[in-house]
Amino acid sequence: MTVALTSCNGYVMSMIATEWKINLREENLPLLEALALRVPAAPDAFLRQLCKKQRVTVNKQPAEAGSCFRAGETIAVKTSQRWQECLAQSHLQPGQILYEDMYCMVINKPAGLAIHHALGQDDNLLQRIQDFLRLRGETFQVAPIHRLDIGTSGAVLFGKGRASISQLGQMIMAGQMTKHYLALIEGCMTRPGELDSSVPAKGSTKTALTRFRPVANTDRYTLLELQLVTGRRHQIRHQLAAIGSPIIGDTRYRGKVISDMDRPFLHCHHLAFLQPATGQTVDIRCQLSLDLMIILKSLGFSHRTLTEEEVQNFST
């Protein structure tokens, strides 16, 4: 059995409403409790008033505070100054949580944010998650199961509690986690293939394997989907640069800069892993961030050039 959820364009925050999809952690809970899990800085009385004033909808219909809903249904909350303050105080935006159950969660990491504390990087995703869970009153250990570079956006899996962290860590070491990335390169690449080479690793070199396929092309650029078979540091970035096709915006590896990009065009858009308690496959999609979608459109990519699967990741 597969649990499949798609993010709502990472996290949606407009001038009108904040939207996200109900996940397994919230399924069959009263709406008031589900709201409190996503925005833990918001007082219950305030959330109850939002429901009473019909400022909260589920599937575009007004919803009552005591009503229960299923995973995959869409919650929308009309914005206000107080609502925006509660979002800021909660440390994570509601739509950043792409998946959550009692054992793990998948978070959409924005580019420019480190996973861990590092020199000059006091703000980091792990600290934000810890602060978010603390507001919920949840004090168990949480840790990333894999990592993304600071300039890379997309889905990151976190374990909740020592047992789950250990089990998920063993899973990824055994190659039982699937990770797919989207990257933009210069040149028209039309055939799938493999990158099988050695990459630098802690003062030596290690073999690395990446599979790729072109998703969409223009005359000058190609959007690639890449699957990491091994998990070396900077693997995709190094291997693409080594074949003369560095990622657009990746200045470290001599990638071309477009529209004053300050990050590589690299995004983790698909994770699949086994849920620790049930062994069921959890399949998560994470849409491209708005800045990357704007770049694609500016370069002439259109919906008609994409497969049905990729249209979900390249839509307005």
Query: In angstroms, rounded to a whole number, what is the distance separating the alpha carbons of residues 84 and 297?
Result: 30
Model pLDDT, residue 10: 39
Q: What is the pLDDT of residue 9?
A: 38
Q: Which helix (H) or strand (E) holds 82?
A: helix 81-89
Q: Which residues pair with 196 in a beta bridge?
A: 209
Q: Confidence band (pLDDT; 50, 70, 90) for 121? A: low
Q: Where are the domains of the chain?
A: 7-92
pLDDT of residue 15: 60
Q: What is the pTM of this model?
A: 0.89
| pLDDT band, very low/low/confident/very high, at 199 (cuts 50, 70, 90) | confident
Give helix then strand counts, H and E, for the chain: 8, 16
Query: How many whole angstroms separate alpha carbon 190 and alpha carbon 224?
Result: 10
Q: How many angstroms separate the CA atoms of 247 and 265, rounded?
A: 6
CA distance 222 to 215: 7
Q: CA–CA separation, 272 vs 275, rounded Å?
A: 9
Contacts of 173 (CB under 8 A, 6+ apart): none
Confidence of residue 232 (pLDDT cuts 50, 70, 90): confident
The mean pLDDT value for 42-58 works out to 97
Do residues 158 and 129 touch, judged by C-beta distance below 8 A?
A: yes
Neighbour-count burial of 190, counting CB atoms closer than 10 A to its CB (0-12 exposed, 13-18 middle, 19+ buried) = exposed
Per CATH, the homologous superfamily of domain 7-92 is RNA-binding S4 domain (3.10.290.10)
Task: Using alpha carbons only, give the angle 168, 170, 175 rounded to the nearest 5 degrees.
Answer: 95
Give pLDDT, residue 243.
94
Pull the structure tokens for residue 130: 């810890």
Residue whose C-alpha is closest to residue 127's, from 91, 98, 157, 161: 91
What's the pLDDT band for 303 if we cut at 50, 70, 90? low
**Residue 11 pLDDT more than 60?**
no
115 forms beta bridges with none
Q: Alpha-carbon distance 175 to 172, whole Å? A: 5
Query: What per-residue confidence (pLDDT) applies to 283?
Result: 96
For all residues of the chain together, what is the average pLDDT?
89
Distance of CA 99 to the CA centre of its chain: 9
Cα separation, 243 vs 37, in Å, equals 46
Residue-level pLDDT at 204: 87
Residues in a beta bridge with 158:
105, 144
Distance, CA of 154 to CA of 213 (rounded, Å): 19
